[in-house]
Structure 1
Amino acid sequence: MAIVFLVGIGSKAWYAGHSTHSYTLWSFAVLVGLNMLYFAATTNRAAQKGGLLVVVGLLFTYLIASGGESNTGPLWFYVFPPLLFYLTNLKAGTAMLLFCFLLAVIVFQFPELPFVTAEYSMDFKIRFFATLIFESIFCFVLEAGRLRARGRLIELAQNHEYAARTDELTGLSNRRDMLNRLAGEFSRYQRSGHHFSIALIDLDLFKTINDRFGHDAGDDVLRRFSDLIKNVIRQTDIAARWGGEEFLVLLPDTSLLQALTLAERLRAEVADTRFESGKSHIPVTISAGVCSIANANTLDDLLKQADINLYSAKEAGRNQIAPRVRSREQKGAWSAT
C-alpha cells in the first residue's frame, strides 16, 4: 500500500512538472520495497520494523525540509505518531517522536540551512505543532489503553489455560492435562526410545474418611497428600489428580524398578505422616500400581496394567505397592514380582 501510494503521488508530481520531487518519492518507494524483500528473505521482524522506521523518518524529514508540493509536505507528518507507536512501544515511540518534533523545530526556525528549501508562515507553524501535539497525546493514550487491555486479555487467557489443566482442589494437573502429557511422553518414547513409567495411586478407604470425618476433612486429606507428592517426586516428574481419590504420577526416563522405589518412598512417607483436620487425627495409607512402558504396547495397555496392579495391591491388604519388590541379598539386586 505504501509503495502504491508513493508511486502514485510521485507520478502526479511528475505530470505537474516537479521531476525532482517525483524521483525522490519513487526512490523512497524502492527503499520500502527493498525492506519488504529483506523481510521476505530473512523473516527478521525487528530488522524490518527498524528499516521501515528509518525510511519513513527520512521521508518525513525530506517532506518537511522541501515542503513537498505547495508546502503541504509537513501534513504527511500526521501519519508518523500512530505508525511509531504501532511499530515500537510507548517509551521508544515517545522518544522518537520527541526527536522528530525537535527536527521539525529546527527546519521551521532555521530556513537558511542548506538542506531546507521551504518556508512556512508563523500561523502554519503554530497550527501544525498544536494539532500534532494533540494527535501525539491522543495516540499515546490510545496505545497505552490498548496495551493495558492486551495485558488483561493475556492474563485472562493464562488463567483460563491454567484452570483448564489444573485440579482446583489440589493444584496438581488434572486428568485432561495428564492425558496430553502422557501422549507427549509416549511420542518421545516412540521417537527416541526413552522409557518412562507411571504410578497409579489410590487413598485407602477414602470413602470411610469422608463418612466418618466429613467431606471437608476428606478435602484436607487430598490437599495434604498432594503436598506430599510434590515433595517426594522429582522436578521432571508430573503428578495429577486422576479422579476422586486416585492420583497418577508420570515418571519420565524411569525404569520399573526406579518407579517402584519412588512409589514405596511415597507410601512410607504417607504412612509416617500425621493427617489432621480440625482436632481429628485421620489415619491415611495409600496403595499404588506401577507399570513401565517397557511392559506395554500402547498407552491404554500401560494404564490398564497400572490399574490391574493397583487392584492387586488393594486385594493384598492395601498400604502397599504392586508389583511387589523383593531384595535378593545374595545377588545384591532388586527384582519385581
Structure 2
Amino acid sequence: MTPHRKRKTQTLGRATPKSPDEALSDTRENGRPVVVASACLLGQAVRYDGGHKHAPHLDVLAEHLEIRGICPEAGAGLGTPRPPMHLVEADGQIRLRECHDPDRDHTEALQRFAHDHIPLLARADGFIAKSKSPSCGMERIPVKDPQGNFRHYGSGLFTHRVRCHLPCLPVEEEGRLRDPALWENFLQRVFVHRRWRQLRAEGLTPARLIDFHTRHKYLVMAHSVAAYRRLGRLLAQVCRLSLEALGTAYFTELMSALAQPAQRGNHAGVLQRLAGCLSGHLSAADRRELAEAIERYRRGEATLEVPLTLLRHHQQRIRDPYLARQYYLAPYPAALELRNAI
C-alpha cells in the first residue's frame, strides 16, 4: 500500500508508550521485520514543545512489521517539554545546544544515549527518522556557527551516529516516505535486512549464502546489473575468503546496491528475463500479452504491478520451481500494494 491510499489503520505508540530500553529490547523473533521510528511520529508526546508529530501514513506498517519508538532527546534526559535545540559547529565539532542559551550544551548526553542504544538498533531492520530534527534528522539540518550564522547542512547527531555504526541499516525520513518510490525502496530493503538477520541467526554457511544470493538475484538486477556482477565475483571467492569476511562484504555491497532507486529500464529487463523462463509453457497469445504489458510499463503507460500480475498469474499455473523462489515476485507482503504506484 502506498502512503497515499486511505484505509482503516492501527494507531501506534499512543496507548502504552515504552521507554527506549523497553521498546528496543522487545524485538521478539516472530519473523516480522523490526522498524524503529522517532517516537513523535508514532503519536508519543515527546517533542520539545510537549507535543507529537504523528505520521498517519506510517500506521499501515503495524500490520506487517514490529514498530518501536525512540526519542534520543527525551531518552538522554533532556526533559519534555524542553528548550528547542540546534546544531552548532565549534572547534571543528558539531554540538547540540539550546537555541536561546548557547552555553547549555547537551552533546555529551546525546552521545551517551547513542552509545548505549545503537547496539539495540542492531537488532532492528530499519529506522524512520524525524525530518528537521537536530537529533533525528537524516539530512539538510542547518548547522550554525557560535554566533548563530548558517554555516552548512548536516545530519541530526543521533541519526549520524546510527548511519556511521550501522551502515547497512535502512534509514529514511518520514517526509521522504510520502514518495511512493522511496516508500517501496525503503520497505524492500527492510525485508531484505530481516531475511539476512534470519540467515545469520540460523548460521552462515557457503550453501546458505549462495542460496540467499540466488533468491535475490533479480531484485538486485532491477537496481544495478553492475552490482549483481560484483556480487557474483565476490561469491566466487567463497573458498578463498573467511566466511565471516565474505558475508560482511557481500551484505554491504547488497544493501548499497538496493539503496539506489531501481530504474524503469532495469525493471523491464528483469521482467523480460522472468517472462523468458515461462515462455516455453505459454501460448503465442499469452507471450504476446505479457510482452505488451512489459513494454507498456517500460514506456511509463502502466505501473510495475501490471506485468507482475500477469507473471504471477502464469507462474501460479505453471509453478516453475526456480521462479517460485525469486523474491523479486514477492519481496514483501502483497497486502502492502507498494508496486501499484511505481
Band the TM-score falls in, shorter-chain normalisation: under 0.3
TM score, norm. by length of structure 2: 0.22
Greater helix fraction, Structure 1 or Structure 2: 1
Q: TM-score normalized by structure 1?
A: 0.22
The structure with the largest alpha-carbon Rg is: 1
Of structures 1 and 2, the one with the larger relative CO (CA 8 A, separation 6+) is 2
